[in-house]
Structure 1
Amino acid sequence: MSDTAADTGRPLPRRPALEADPGRTSWLRVLGWSMWDWGAQPFNTVITTFVFSVYLTSEAFGDENTTSMALSVATSIAGLLVAAIAPVLGQNSDRTGRTVRNLRIQTWVLAALSASLFFVRPEESFLWIGLALLGAGSIVSEIAGVNYNASIDQVASGRTVGRVSGFGWGMGYLGGIIVLLLIYLAFIQPEVGLFGVTGDDGMDIRVSMLVCGLWILLFTLPAFAVLKDPPRTEAVPRIGVAESYRLLWQSLRRLWSSSRHTVYFLLASALYRDGLAGVFLYGGVLAAGTFGLSAGDVIIFGAAANIVAGLSTMAFGLLDDRVGPKRVIIISLGALVVIGLAIFVLHDAGTGVFWALGLAMTAFVGPAQAASRSFLARVIPEGRSGEIFGLYATTGRVVSFLSPAAFGIFVALGAWITGENNTQYWGILGIGLVLLAGLLVMLPVHEHDGHSVTAD
């Protein structure tokens, strides 16, 4: 990218790696690539959303408001650490050409951290141990996601990047269904589960964490069979942390000069992606604490939600390649704000309302996430994937305190206004406010220069 100022009103042209479409996309390679989404999904679906976070905010670890706000604090701290290191590590992957190697190591660490949650017993003294492990896993998961996103140009072309991105996200959701049902039927639902596991001492949840670690380890292997680092032709000099940040600052200045609307997109996506993360982070908490779903019911809801999310994300991926990712993002965010407000208004209408509105909400989260990845993939200059996707992670994590903080503030505000002991449902207003802010900032962002309307 040149240091000279270009037309600052336009985003970057699509990079050469995605500009050309020399032939049909190899969907066998796409399937292998997407298995990382499938394999890594237990951390997001089982651990962060529907099982372990619900376990940590249960009465065994303290009262509901205290544990919910503690989860918000831990999540915020982890997000700030991601913001500090993601672009530098992404830049390092670009410079050394070891994106896939780094992804492999980070995936193994994520599997180990997931399995280590087995040691978190249902006692108040284990709350912060569980939160620390959960936060560490969140950091590793985000950094691994930077390298995974950067690898999309190994399997997608400019004409298919929307479908490929949507297919990957969809595979992740569908993988989440399988692992949720597996642990529910094998350990959580039966009084005595597989291998004699029961709910005593939280053993059904804890053994499920071991399953998650093994799932991550095994099912990401196909991705590493497909993805390869390019051969290195010369040694790459090591640089220090300070020099890495100096180079990062130079990159930001060049990006601002040559592609101001790409920067605007990074800012807008930072806001709404934090809101999207909040939907998943607190969805299971609200299901159990506000609408009274049992742990088993939360898992069944999670499985149904993943089916809806997976299919809708794949369908919207096709729309992405035809009408552009920005329209998909705008439609999804608008729907989420409206549905979130409806959940708040109807919070005491029973579990049926939560099922209907919750499933409707999940239909729009995945499409917004997948379209964001394809939006950015279309404009990244060749050889800068890790760095720019690192910035993508950083801009999201710089404001990652917003959804947890907004959730916690509105929970406290609701308690002050109503005098109720459990005001978790007020937290949805905080999440909706973050999503609305992202939507408003996204509206004036210019899309990339053209997108194909021709299907393969």
Structure 2
Amino acid sequence: MSEFPAAPSASTDRQRIITKPVVAWASWDWGSAAINAVMITFVFTVYLTSDLFGDTDANSVVLGNGLAIAGVAIALLAPVTGLRSDAGGRRRFWLGVNTIIVAVLTAACFFIFPEPRFLVLGVTLIALASVFAEFATVNYNAMIPQISTPATIGKVSGFGWGMGYLGGILALAIVLFTLVTPIFPWAGASETDALNLRLVAVFSAVWFLGFGLPVLFAVPEIPGEPGGPRFTILQSYAELWRRVVALARKDRHTVFFLLASAVFRDGLAAVFTFGGIIAAGTFGFPLQQVIIFAIVGNVVAAFGAMVGGVLDDKIGPKRVIIASLIGLLVAGLGVFLSPGASGFWVFGLLLCLFVGPAQSSSRAFLARLAPAGQEGELFGLYATTGRAVSFLAPALFAASIALAAPHVAEAQRYGILGILAVLLLGLLLLIPVRAPGHGPVPLDRGP
């Protein structure tokens, strides 16, 4: 088993932030964008909910239920998978296993033909892929302390987020111009039996696997806990609960941060989830313009994440998150008050600018708090708390529209206020949380 490499000196580290392990680690984020942006957000789920599979509303219900079940599975299992990989010294191993599983499940979507009888299978594959992708992400996020120092953790996290955004842009552009609306004719672009859309799944699987493998060779495996404790599934939950109680007693601010971040991260996710819907429904963007805005918005978000990472190491992640949330609230109000498309472009891109650093510094915040050897466990809790409130922004978005509908013509616009309410609540919950120092907080594991 490989041991951790010696941490570089502060002066050397400042000169060489983008090292080989960091680039290999960020490459995984670049590759995973094909799953998040192409398969789950913009292309394949749109295919599954189209009239090719029957009634579009019914298809959307099936997809929603499938992803909801996947969310419950993640909430229940993510912290335990992180705990077990930490204890057994198999963080890199499980990152690799889950990455391969996601790639296989994604590639299998090629066999989802445009017939109603394939809908449930297609949703099942997408839901399972999202579950194992989250398991992989737990171990991926937990690697941050291995490839950075306390002085550079913000820049490294920001670089990873930026690579993810840029990878999504390139993957979407390739899919758009070679398969969905090809700029040159070729056999793979055939719409017969939706071949072009089914090939999107093959492309995404290859993209993810190709860019996801380097981290497995560049970042060493972690050592297991002394004595190598091994837990059954039930013992893992008991051990997890004991450690959560110990964490709350030792450093309540970590628990408070998990709660606050769960709320504002749900608002951040909603910015992208509903941004395209608002652009089309409220501001009249045609599909092509929505895609163009999405590409430009991802570029802006990548820039924001990288700049935010630099600021994170200078002023601390809490200040970056607070400033970003305030910026999001101002920009969101700008979108709400904008009378036309030009206002949406200006304030919508400002939203994208602040989303990146808020996401990046949230991850860096937790990485600074994580006790050495328990990063996977804590990032598993990070995933669980996020899933536990993932209904909040969609519910308030829908409720705001429903309340406004009897009184105004453009009710969808009021959904923006629901998202802003979630971001404001997350900001208020974060303000009392103590900012992290430059090292992990030791946690008593008990006798």
Q: TM-score, normalised by structure 1?
A: 0.85
CA contact 1:82–1:142 (8 Å) conserved in 2: yes
Q: Distance in 1 between matches of 2:302 and 2:206?
A: 22
Report the secondary structure of 2:41's partner residue.
helix
Please say which of residues 36-45 and 429-438 is displaced more in the overlay: 429-438
Q: CA deviation at 1:316?
A: 1.0
Q: Return the letter of the residue paired with 1:159.
A: A
Cα distance 1:253–1:233, how it changes in 2: closer, same or farther (>3 A)?
closer
Please say which of residues 97-106 and 137-146 is displaced more in the overlay: 137-146
Cα distance 1:338–1:124, how it changes in 2: closer, same or farther (>3 A)?
farther
Deviations 1:219-251 (A, max 9, x none): 112111112214669874542222111111111
Q: CA deviation at 1:191?
A: 7.2
Unaligned runs of 5+ in 1: 1-16, 452-456
- 2:237 matches 1:250: no
Q: CA deviation at 1:48?
A: 2.7
Cα distance 1:62–1:289, how it changes in 2: closer, same or farther (>3 A)?
farther
Cα distance 1:407–1:78, how it changes in 2: closer, same or farther (>3 A)?
farther
- 2:64 matches 1:76: no
CA contact 2:87–2:225 (8 Å) conserved in 1: no
CA contact 1:271–1:396 (8 Å) conserved in 2: yes
Match of 2:427 among 439, 442, 449: 439
Q: CA deviation at 1:434?
A: 1.7
Q: Distance in 2 between matches of 1:51 and 1:23?
A: 43
- 2:21 matches 1:29: yes
- 2:382 matches 1:395: no
Report the secondary structure of 1:378's partner residue.
helix
Q: Distance in 2 between matches of 1:431 and 1:278?
A: 7
Match of 2:260 among 263, 268, 275: 268
- 2:169 matches 1:181: no
Deviations 1:235-293 (A, max 9, x none): 74542222111111111111111111111111000101111122223333444455454
Match of 1:152 in 2: 144
Match of 2:347 in 1: 357
Q: Distance in 2 between matches of 1:268 and 1:64?
A: 36
Structure 1 residues 15-414: aligned runs within 5 Å: 21=10, 23-24=12-13, 25=17, 27-58=19-50, 72-121=64-113, 128-190=120-182, 193-199=185-191, 201-230=193-222, 236=228, 238-346=230-338, 349-350=340-341, 352-414=342-404
Q: Distance in 1 between matches of 2:403 and 2:56?
A: 15
Unaligned runs of 5+ in 2: 1-5, 440-447
Structure number with the bigger relative contact order (C-alpha 8 A, sep ≥ 6) is: 1
Q: CA deviation at 1:70?
A: 5.8
Match of 1:8 in 2: none
Cα distance 1:233–1:52, how it changes in 2: closer, same or farther (>3 A)?
closer
Task: Give the number of aligned pairs.
Answer: 431
Q: Return the letter of the residue paired with 1:449.
A: G
Q: Return the letter of the residue paired with 1:172.
A: G
Match of 1:454 in 2: none
Q: Distance in 2 between matches of 1:123 and 1:425?
A: 35
Q: Distance in 1 between matches of 2:284 and 2:201?
A: 24
Please say which of residues 191-200 and 209-218 is displaced more in the overlay: 191-200
Cα distance 1:232–1:170, how it changes in 2: closer, same or farther (>3 A)?
same
Q: Distance in 2 between matches of 1:57 and 1:322?
A: 45
Q: Return the letter of the residue paired with 1:365.
A: V
Deviations 1:163-217 (A, max 9, x none): 0000011111111111111111111223764434144554433322221111001
Q: Percentage identity across aligned positions? A: 46
Cα distance 1:111–1:415, how it changes in 2: closer, same or farther (>3 A)?
farther
CA contact 2:104–2:205 (8 Å) conserved in 1: yes
Q: Distance in 2 between matches of 1:275 and 1:342?
A: 16
Q: Distance in 1 between matches of 2:191 and 2:219?
A: 40
CA contact 2:86–2:224 (8 Å) conserved in 1: no
Cα distance 1:118–1:407, how it changes in 2: closer, same or farther (>3 A)?
farther
Cα distance 1:150–1:306, how it changes in 2: closer, same or farther (>3 A)?
same
Q: Distance in 1 between matches of 2:121 and 2:171?
A: 24
